[in-house]
Structure 1
């Protein structure tokens, strides 16, 4: 497969993201309100989505491009003691829901990244977040998987290819960080 073939698949996916404009603007409004009310954004995912969760939480807490006040965000993928203790004592399927039970408060925003939309621990995390009273988002691939019927809002990236889905997740995540820079600086 040539580089140009991969680039074309990337462009095909990104060209379809224009339809997300209203939804991502709504997400930005909800994040702004959440942060201004003293809430936080919690990110979760597995594998590459775990890394993306950590990346986005860091951009919120530190800064993206502009100097601005810090914004509360947590990646539920970073504490190896919690991840391994919980998975050993209970189940990997509930590793995020347990943390949400401990850390989330009503009005917080929980974003679960899952390219398939079928990650049991992300599904359980979203379900627990809803019980707590959080606003929930799932960022998935094109079919949405089981998360489509669980999260308050699902951003289904227009691709079934993991790499293209993750690239689209990060575009939305980086735009959100850029928008928060503007709103809070």
Structure 2
């Protein structure tokens, strides 16, 4: 495959995502995030592997800044503390490592964003169940169909693809849009 073919394939997936019926769900996610910040509740983000890096990226944009000079947003990446990840996984189970952190940092009115290209990550599913029980809104970024997360997410944002790299490329565009919209809603004069 040539670089031209690869980029054209990426453009095709982005075009399909742009015309996909999920835009209302993206707006729901923005609304939930804005409501959480206004209520003083946290936004938590988690993912595994490449999606862990994306979770850190989202948190960095919201705590730091995306496009506007403004105050920090309370956003915690659950994928970025190696002491918690390794201690809990070693002593208990990797499947509950994010759920445990939701217990520690979550609050009613908050939002948990989980990134899983398959939608079947057991530790994200467990975290969503814990977050729902705590009165948090859950937002899943997945590939086509949403996998098992589709059944437990309040808001499902599924990219119309089954290719992990293509799904992740669209996820980047989608979460950049979320960050832009959250900033615009909360800090219109910044």
TM-score range, shorter chain: over 0.9
Q: What number of residue pairs does the alignment pair up?
A: 185
For structure 1, the 5+ residue unaligned runs are none
Q: CA deviation at 1:180?
A: 2.1
Q: CA deviation at 1:58?
A: 0.7
1:104 corresponds in structure 2 to 106
1:150 corresponds in structure 2 to 152
Tell me, yes or no, if structure 1 residue 5 matches structure 2 residue 16.
no
Q: CA deviation at 1:174?
A: 0.4
2:15 corresponds in structure 1 to 15
C-alpha separation in 2, matches of 1:53 and 1:14: 20
Match runs of 1:86-97 below 5 Å? 86-97=88-99
Match of 2:122 among 120, 123, 137: 120
C-alpha separation in 1, matches of 2:24 and 2:139: 15
Q: CA deviation at 1:17?
A: 2.2
2:62 corresponds in structure 1 to 60
Moved more, 175-184 or 138-147: 175-184
Moved more, 129-138 or 20-29: 20-29
Q: CA deviation at 1:32?
A: 1.0
Q: CA deviation at 1:82?
A: 0.6
Match of 2:85 among 83, 86, 96: 83
C-alpha separation in 2, matches of 1:118 and 1:89: 23
Q: Retained in 1: the 8 A contact 2:22–2:158?
A: no
1:39 corresponds in structure 2 to 41
The two structures, once aligned, show a CA RMSD in angstroms of 1.0
Q: TM-score, normalised by structure 2?
A: 0.94
SS at match of 1:117: coil
